[in-house]
Amino acid sequence: MKTKTMCWMIIVFLVYGVSAVEEGIKTACVYETNGPHIEVVKAADLDNDGIPEVFAGSSSGVVYNLKLKDCDGQWTAAWQFIGAEDEITDLEVMDFDRDGEKDVLVTSLDGDRYLHVLGPDATVKYKPKEAMDSVYSLDAGDFDGDGVNEILLAGKHGKIYLLEQIESPWNLRLGIKWTAELDNPAYYVKAVDIDSDPEMEIIALTNDQGKKATLYVLDSKGETEWSYEVNKGVYQANDYSVSIADIDNNGGKEILVAAYDNKLIALNNQGNEIWSYETERMASSVNVEDLDNDGRKEIIFSSYPKLYVVDSGGVKKWESVIDSTILCIETADLNKDNIKEIITGSVKSIQVFNSDGDNMAGWLYTILEKQKEINARMIALGDFDSDGSVEIASGFGWQEARLDHNYDQGELRVFDVDIPAGSTTTTITTATTTLMESTTSTIKITTTSLKPVSSTISTTTTTQAEEGGGIEMMLLLIIGGVLLILLVSAIVGVAVFLKLRSGKKKESSGDKEKESVEKVLDDVEEALGEME
């Protein structure tokens, strides 16, 4: 009896991928949207209680404000705002009107309701009175130093708008101060002083994917100071396509662009190309950070199937194998060792790498033997539960094919992270969905090497010829489980058939057949016991 129970436990493990071990990254909360994708995720302390909230915007025009402490059972939003009829594209939390309370600024692709300014309880402080443009990106702040905040908007029709506040005794009013006409839809806008002069420059990116992208630097009046054309454009055209930083510590800022034309481009603040790093495929995202606190910044960028880190001169420091196209790159000291880790959101996973390129932990979403394309578009980091550790928040979106239709699905997840300082262990947590239940499993691969990454993740990625492989070990377990179930089912079917037949024969003959079936079952049981 004991052996039979153990055999069935092994079969269940192989089929469902269940493990009691949860290390590295594990889900703390899940918010399901039942249709809309989560496009935007930001972290900010809206109510000034010292604990950041998670803000998310969906593909259906909904903005969510969630607190991790409300995640008992079903995670519910502190509030949600439905003010647009199209995708939420960007949001920012700040005291925009300087009344002592923080506001939530929200943009969308709804050309009639392209901008909202919300109070801390989702009260609408500002909404447009007339249509203007679908908006992809915003930036807000006191750009001209007059003590009043302005808003920059990047529009679908190739325009950059600067909105200024208009004095009103009753409510918040905004008017267009100037408009800049660009060549293609504008997907990115940011006000940054790149040349250390008294005025801010405005960096904008337009894109026509497959043809060209153009990086513009505008002055405070919206006039073009210079522009740079990127051949074949950029892949995503968002905040992760461009990074602005003083990479060489010379006082001016450089601009990094992840190009569709298989390279990362570095420009100085005059628009001249300093260097470019050639890759095998398109570069999808870029970020800049001093990872090891040596006073020199590293440039982190991705080009499937690799994640790269180069120095300020474009010389490679390391590369690491990745499982799919990376959509976003963030950095944080997750294990409190004063060294920053790299957190990536990709088409298939969330991954954590240390400053030397070792894959420290990961999270995958699988359905039976197929790894789901979750499209982790954006990552937000914060101590959302006030426990002294940084959590990871990310939004996802995918399609599920059913008999009648393809259905959009989306969700927001917050992950706890537990990575020991100096860890060289790769732990990959998988969320596995079956027709019967949802479970999680963790595959742990330990390496005795301080580096390289190939020894830690070769079992899952280095044999893949193209994007989308999944975890080989999980596939083997699942396939083995399915074969075992088919074998056991066939044997049980034969046993039932023989038992029914035995009722029509003599008792002595039936006894012999019964003994024969039991012997076969005992042999199978013994074989499964040896596998155990």
Residue 100: burial class (beta carbons within 10 Å; 0-12, 13-18, 19+): exposed
Chain position carrying tokens 């003010």: 83
C-alpha–C-alpha distance, residues 374 and 437, integer Å: 19
What distance in Å separates the CA atoms of residue 530 and residue 6, rounded to the nearest whole number? 11
Q: What gap in Å lies between CA 36 and CA 295, rounded to an integer?
A: 42
User: Strand runs (DSSP E) across 419-491, as ranges?
Assistant: 425-433, 438-446
Angle between helices 507-531 and 2-16 (to 10 degrees): 60
Task: Name the amino acid, one letter, at 86.
Answer: D
3-state secondary structure 255-296: EEEEECCCEEEEECCCCCEEEEEECCCCCCEEEEECCCCCCC
- Using only C-alpha atoms, the chain has a radius of gyration, in whole angstroms, of 27
**Structure tokens given for 294:** 């040596």
Distance of CA 19 to the CA centre of its chain: 24
Helices within 334-468 (DSSP H only): 454-457
C-alpha pair distances (Å), 344 with each of 120, 330, 341, 385: 30, 6, 10, 22
CA max distance for the chain: 104
CA-CA distance, 55 to 90, in Å (whole number)?
Answer: 11
Rounded-to-integer distance, Cα 378 and Cα 219, Å: 29
CA–CA dist 32, 76 (Å, integer): 10
Please, which residues have CB within 8 angstroms of residue 398's CB and are 6 or more apart in sequence?
A: 37, 372, 373, 374, 375, 408, 409, 410
User: Using CA atoms in the order 357, 360, 366, 372, what is the torsion angle rounded to 10 degrees?
Assistant: -30
How high is the pLDDT of residue 320? 98
Closest by CA to 322, choosing from 473, 472, 464, is 464
Identify whether the C-beta of residue 230 lies closer than 8 Å to the C-beta of residue 255. no
Which stretches of the chain score pLDDT less than 50?
A: 1-22, 434-466, 468-476, 504-510, 512-514, 517, 520-521, 524, 527-528, 530-532
- pLDDT computed for residue 11 by the predictor: 43
Categorise residue 251: left if φ over 0, alpha if ψ from -120 to 50, beta otherwise.
Answer: left
Q: What number of H helices and E strands is found in the chain?
A: 4, 35
Distance, C-alpha 211 to centroid of its chain: 27
492: its two tokens: 């049980």
Q: How far apart are CA 46 and CA 79, in angstroms?
A: 12
- Provide the pLDDT for residue 522: 59
Query: In the structure encoding, which two tokens stand for residue 327, read together?
Result: 């959509």
Give alpha helix (H) positions in 309-381.
Answer: none
184 three-state secondary structure: coil
Helix, strand, coil distribution of the chain in percent, nearest 5:
15, 45, 40
pLDDT of residue 483: 59
Q: Kindly report the number of other CB atoms within 10 A of residue 501's CB atom.
A: 12
Which conformational region is residue 292 in: left (phi greater than 0), alpha (psi within -120 to 50 degrees), or beta?
Answer: alpha
Question: Of the candidates 254, 472, 449, 469, which has an alpha carbon nearest to the alpha carbon of residue 354?
Answer: 449
**CA-angle at 323, arms to 455 and 422, nearest 5°:** 45
- Per DSSP, the three-state class of 15 is helix
Q: Residue 70 CB: number of other CB atoms within 10 A?
A: 15
Cα–Cα distances (Å) from 268 to 237, 248, 372, in that order, read: 20, 10, 40
- The angle, 0 to 180 degrees and rounded to 10, between the axes of the packed helices 472-502 and 507-531 is 170
Q: Taking a C-beta distance cutoff of 8 angstroms, is the pair 304, 315 a contact?
A: no
In this structure, what token pair is assigned to residue 24?
């590295």
Q: How far apart are CA 369 and CA 477, in angstroms?
A: 9
- Residue 476 makes CB contacts below 8 A (sequence gap 6+) with none
